[in-house]
């Protein structure tokens, strides 16, 4: 896939369950778009597949043409019971912010991985 017309910039890379993930989607080249969306999701990866195990409904950040250099802020809430980030030799569980431009042809997509900390022991 070619270079995307957007990129995701996170204000912080580490969060706890229930926290708000803030950042922006930056437009890297002007594009005629129907809409710009962002969402947070949990993805399970193994050597054979990747599947979203938690998919939070997206928010609409903008509609219409997106100008190069513009940025669109987002604030997405992690679930209170969010699984912590996990990496092992057999796979990983990770959270990411994914953004996409709904436009004619192939949609532009970008993502940024974030770390979700395990809840503190009581």
- Best-predicted range by mean pLDDT (42-46, 71-75, 83-87): 71-75
Query: What is the model's pTM?
Result: 0.87
pLDDT digits (tens, 9 = 90+) for 75-111: 999 999 998 999 888 889 999 999 999 988 888 899 9
Domains of the chain: 6-116 (2.60.40.640)
Q: Is the pLDDT of residue 122 over 70?
A: no
Task: DSSP for the chain, please give it.
Answer: ----SEEEEES-SEE-TTPEEEEEEEESS-B--SEEEEEEEEEEE-SS-EEEEEEPPPEEEEES-B-TT-EEEEEEEPPTTPPPPEEETTEEEEEEEEEEEE-SSSPEEEEEEEEEPPPPP-
Average pLDDT over all residues of the chain: 90
Q: Is the pLDDT of residue 15 over 90?
A: yes
Q: Is the pLDDT of residue 3 over 70?
A: no
CA–CA distance, 72 with 101 (Å, rounded to integer) = 12
């Amino acid at each position: 896939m070619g270079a995307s017309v957007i990129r995701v910039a996170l204000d912080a890379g580490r969060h706890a369950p229930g926290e708000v993930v803030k950042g922006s989607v930056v437009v890297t080249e002007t594009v005629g778009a129907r809409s710009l969306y962002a969402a947070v999701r949990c993805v399970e990866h193994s050597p054979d597949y990747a599947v979203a195990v938690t998919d939070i409904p997206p928010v609409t950040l903008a509609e219409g043409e997106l100008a190069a250099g513009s940025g669109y802020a987002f604030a997405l809430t992690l679930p209170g019971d969010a699984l912590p980030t996990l990496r092992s030799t057999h796979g990983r569980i990770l959270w990411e912010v994914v953004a996409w431009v709904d436009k004619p042809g192939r949609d532009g997509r970008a993502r940024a991985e974030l770390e979700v900390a395990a809840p503190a022991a009581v």
